Amino acid sequence: MARILYSGTRNASSWAFRAWLALREGGIEFEERVVDIRKPQRFDNLKRIGEFSPPAAVPALVDGDTVVFDSLAIMEYANDLAGGRLLPLEPLSRARARSFLAWQHAGLSGLCPRLSFESAFYPDKRAMSVDEQAQSARAYDAFEQQLAFSGGPCLAGELSLADLAMVPTLLRLVSHTPAERLAQWPRVAEWNRRLMARESVREWLSEANTLPPVRLDDYMA
Ligand SMILES: N[C@@H](CCC(=O)N[C@@H](CS)C(=O)NCC(=O)O)C(=O)O
C-alpha cells in the first residue's frame, strides 16, 4: 500500500519538515509530493490539497483510504508505525517529551513570530531585538534544564518526536543567535549540533539551502 506525503517547499514549510522528519527517522517508507507553497501558486496548490484534506494545508499523509492531516497526527502515526520508539515508554519521561511537543505545536507561546522558518535561510540576517533575545532565552533555558534532567543527548534522552518538532524552531532561533551567546546554554548548543548533523536533517536542508529565499514582509519591520 502506497503512502504519499504531501509536503511543502523546503525553505518555507516547517510543519511539513516535522512530519517528514518523523517518517524518515521512524524508517517509514513513503512517497513524497512536494507542494509549492510560495505565493502566488500557493493558493491554487493548497486548494487542491483541500479536495481531499479538510485543513487544505500541508503536510497531509495519504495512507490507503485514510488521510492523516496535521503534522502532529502524522508524527504520532510515524511513531506508531515505528513501534513506538520515537517517544519514551516510561510515563513521566513520555509526558515531559509530549509537553515539549505540545508546546511547540501550540505555537511556543508566540515565540519570536517575526523570526519565521523562512528567515533561517536569509543570507542577510538581522540582529534579534531585545524582546526576541529575552523570549529566545526563555526557550533556551527550558531546553537546557530538560537536557540536564534527561542527561541528553536529546530532550528525553534518546531521540524523540520532541526533538524532531524543535528542529525548525532551532533553525530559526540559532541562526539568529551569535555562537558566543549560545555558549551560555552549552547543552542546547550540543543538542543543536547533533540534530543538525543527522542525515535526515541534512537531506532536507541540502535542498532548502539551494532555493531562493522566501521573503516575508515583517522580517525587517
Ligand atoms: N497545524 C498544521 C499547520 C500546517 C500549516 O500551517 N501548513 C502551512 C504550510 S507550512 C500551510 O499549508 N498553510 C496553508 C494555510 O494554512 O492556508 C500542522 O501542524 O500541520
For the domain that residue 41 is a member of, what is the CATH number?
3.40.30.10
Instruction: Answer whether residue 119 is part of any domain.
Output: yes
Q: Are 203 and 96 in a shared domain? A: yes
Q: Tell me: do 66 and 116 sit in the same domain.
A: no
Pocket perturbation via mutation, ligand 1, pick of 15, 72, 108, 167 by most ligand atoms within 8 A of CB: 15
> Could you list the residue range(s) of the whole structural domain that residue 33 is in?
3-81
Residue 142 CA, ligand 1 centroid: distance in Å: 26
Looking up cell 525553505, which residue turns up?
11
Q: Residue 18 CB: number of other CB atoms within 10 A? A: 25
Cβ of 116 closer than 6 Å to ligand 1, yes or no, is no
Among 81, 104, 137, identify where a domain stops: 81
pLDDT score at 1:
58
Of the candidates 1, 72, 2, 64, the one whose C-alpha atom is nearest the C-alpha of residue 31 is 2
Which of 40, 59, 81 is the last residue in one of the domains? 81
For ligand 1, atom 15: residue with the closest CA: 57
CB-based contacts of 92-95 (< 8 A; 24+ apart in sequence):
93/150, 93/156, 93/157, 94/156
Q: In this structure, which residue's CA is closest to atom 11 in ligand 1? A: 57
Whole-number Cα distances in Å, 116 to 8, 171, 178, 205: 15, 10, 17, 16
* Structural domain contains residue 214: no
Tens of each residue's pLDDT in the chain, 221 residues: 589 999 999 999 999 999 999 999 999 999 999 999 999 999 999 999 999 999 999 999 999 999 999 999 999 999 999 999 999 999 999 999 999 999 999 999 999 999 999 999 999 999 999 999 999 999 999 999 999 999 999 999 999 999 999 999 999 999 999 999 999 999 999 999 999 999 999 999 999 999 999 999 999 97
How many distinct structural domains can be found in the chain? 2
168 within ligand 1 shell (Cβ under 6 A): no
